[in-house]
Amino acid sequence: MTPALPRLAALATAVPTYALGQAEVARRARHLFAEAAAEDLDRLMPVFAHAGIERRYSCVPIEWYEQTHDWTERNALYLEKATGLLERAARDALGRAGTAPSAIDAVVAVSTTGIATPGLDARLINQLGLRADVRRLPIFGLGCAGGVIGLARAADLARAAPESRVLLLVVELCTLAFRKNDVSKSNVVATALFGDGAAAAVISCAGEGPALGAAGEYTWPQSLDIMGWEVAEDGLKAVFSRDIPGLVRRHMRDAAGAFLSPHRLALSNIDHFVCHPGGAKVLSALEEAFRLGEGALVDGRGVLRDYGNMSAATVLFVLERTLAARARGRLLLTALGPGFTAAFQLLGAA
């Protein structure tokens, strides 16, 4: 008997109210950072112009970033804003799938930009009207890889119980990590790249939609310091290695090939690459690694331009845009996150 295939019944995305134009962010960042390190500012500021971003969205108004905020305040905002944003995305996804909240059997909730105990999934049970016996799987710590890995875990749950319906929730409020007195390169890069956003999906073996195939991960040894968060007294502090694009160029092709090979596939069998746009340089490195040609990752570049890097949620924005363009054939979703880990998910669009 052929195993049931999990399918993506619906996908929806949401962003907060406040739109931040990149030029305005750069202007304000220069003013704020000037107090801390005037001598290094001219060397650091070009990252804003070269980020490939025109605007992003924030859960707080731009004036919020001009003040100092402690960990308690930041996390309280995270709980409030992340829950509201997820509810919007979830209701849209459920509506598009024609699925009542009471029909959901399991919830997978992915987020790494705040701490929620009880989790965001628990907070949404009553708000969405989910059943009291819904199964919960909160996932923390995956960073930018969380969208792909969360989708894979949701597909696993649906595959294990073919009659079930699984709700995937992904939200990241990256901008809440901004610190105005930190002129480290990682903080300046984060300020130039990060935006806020959420995505939700309904996955089930019953019904129609693109089929979710094999998924996999590869974690490079001795790579814990490449990407992640440091926990500081005033909240989470971004960590980025300057060599991420170089690592992608050198190693991503082999990692993707090793994932595909057991499934009797090669990169030449992929019709569409749906890649997390970590930044303009990372997208160029992915295009080089997959031998696609400069500028080939059009949807990734478009999402980066319009929304910035929303960590785990971003790849689902790219997937939404790719499917809206009526992409057909075999899609490969990829993302890179703390670990340092590459995540892969195959999807078939008929």
Q: Domain containing 250: what range?
A: 211-349
Calculate the alpha carbon distances from 94 to 15, 98, 100, 111 in Å.
Answer: 17, 6, 7, 20
Q: Is the domain of 183 the same as that of 68?
A: yes
pLDDT > 80? residue 309: yes
For residue 264, count CB atoms less than 10 angstroms from its CB and return exposed for 0-12, middle for 13-18, buried for 19 or more. exposed
As a whole number, mean pLDDT of residues 77-106 equals 97
Domain count, the chain: 2
CATH number for 232: 3.40.47.10
Whether the pLDDT of residue 1 is over 70: the answer is: no
The Cα 43–Cα 40 span in angstroms is 6
The answer to whether 276 touches 148, Cβ cutoff 8 Å, is yes
Q: Are 146 and 139 in contact (CB under 8 A)?
A: yes
- Token pair in block for residue 341: 């880990």
Same domain, 69 and 102: yes
CB of 136 closer than 8 Å to CB of 109: yes
Check residue 334 and give its pLDDT: 98
Q: Are residues 64 and 82 in the same domain?
A: yes
In a domain, residue 300? The reply is yes
Residue 108's closest CA among 100, 117, 120, 118?
120
Active site positions, annotated: 144
- Out of 204, 236, 271, pick the residue that ends a domain: 204
Share of the chain above pLDDT 90, in %: 73
> pLDDT tens for residues 11-23?
999 999 999 999 9
Q: Is 2 inside a domain boundary?
A: no
Q: Which residue has the tokens 């054939």?
A: 329
**Any idea how long the chain is?**
350
- The residue from 162, 182, 204 where one domain ends is 204
| Predicted confidence (pLDDT) per residue in 285-300, tens digit | 999 999 998 889 999 9
